Amino acid sequence: MTNQEHVELGRQYVMNTYGRLPIAFVRGQGARLWDSDGKEYLDFLSGLAVNSLGHCHPKVVQAIQKQAEELLHVSNLYWIEGQNKLAQAIVNNSFADKVFFCNSGAEANEGAIKLARKYAKKTWGEEKYEIITMEHSFHGRTLAALTATGQRKYQEGFAPLPTGFRYVPFGDLKALAEAINSHTCAIMIEPIQGEGGVNIADKTYWEGLAQIVAEHNLLLIVDEVQSGMGRTGKLFAYDHYGLQPNIMTLAKALGGGVPIGAMAATDEVASAFSPGDHASTFGGNPLVTSAGLAVMEVMLEEGFLSRVQEMGSYLQEQLNKMAQKHSSIVEVRGLGLMVACQLDREGTAIVSSCLEKGLIINCTAGKVLRFLPPLTINRHDIDQAITILDTAFMAQGNG
């Protein structure tokens, strides 16, 4: 089938929930994808930070193939070997003591909201239920996660939304402190706002946030769905800021391409859940946890995360050189291989031009070009991407 044939078939049978581009990818390897018409692309989006080891990483493929021959699913009525081992790996490399598995970042965040409320009510009383989140945040599309998301555009048309959420500007300690009241039980925050524009707060903000959490005896929930699993050059982005969360959510890169989410918590907070309080039929089944284990093993190899930092610095250096040439680039920012170019104009035309030339990136928050290449990316591929991007800027007259 051609790209156009895929488009026609999809339009006939698939719900219209995405503004899809007229391309159907059929094969991937490393940082490259091929569409139905045989065109090759350099992937600097990684399936929205999912394929962080690149496409079809041999260790992930081998783990999935081996597990598929043995056991796919049994349900969480029983203990699952791969689930136990993946939970152990997450605990051994984070603040957490216990892990709950689900299928997506939205589910992980829903679980975190439920756990925070359950713990708060059991510990502090029925009046504790409100969670403060940040403007321009993104926590998912399910109803509570959508309400936690501090962007009205995603909430329009779905009222009435659940109660119990307040929003404050990201990076504003004064507004955060003023938003706390007798109902507040937790602060939920992304270490880096991905969908909101790759927004990064300085160290002073995180130090102040930690102090506020301690002074008001609040829970701290870090949403690491996009920033976690090596994306920033540390396994979890909260480590950059010296934070001590109570709850963390993961998904995207955790499975290397298969759907898995996780919510990790301290023993004290996790103990608020009893059997029946929360569940997920497919969560943490043998197939997805075998893939997750393979991903963890690769990311924990000596030198892997330091190389992510090295390649992230190189990418930012090259983008900053471009910024000197193209005045429409206002700022380059990022951490590790979670990188963005802030523009002074809409960025969709640049994204389209890059796609035509064989480079996959995306635009978020209207004027932000977002780069999420595989964590295995090399200098040669970065150089190629920069060349294409430079050509796209020139073609659009973005001098």
Q: Are strands 165-168 and 130-134 parallel, antiparallel or unpaired?
A: parallel
Cα–Cα dist 161/278, whole Å:
21
Q: Which residues are annotated as a binding site for pyridoxal 5'-phosphate?
A: 105-106, 138, 223-226, 281
| C-alpha distance from residue 66 to each of 138, 139, 254, 287 (Å) | 35, 33, 18, 9
Rg of the chain on CA atoms, in Å = 21
Annotated binding site: which residue ranges?
Answer: 105-106, 138, 141, 223-226, 280-281
DSSP string, 202-246: -HHHHHHHHHHHHHHT-EEEEE-TTTTTTTTSSSSGGGGTT---S
d(CA 45, CA 36): 19
Rounded to whole angstroms, how far apart are CA atoms 351 and 346? 10
Q: Which residues belong to the annotated binding site for N(2)-acetyl-L-ornithine?
A: 141, 280
- CA gap 324, 341 in Å, rounded: 12
Largest CA distance in the chain: 61
Beta bridge partners of 248: 222, 264
- Contact status, residue 264 vs residue 98, Cβ threshold 8 Å: yes
Nearest to 247 by CA among 188, 304, 332, 302: 188
Residues in a beta bridge with 331: 342
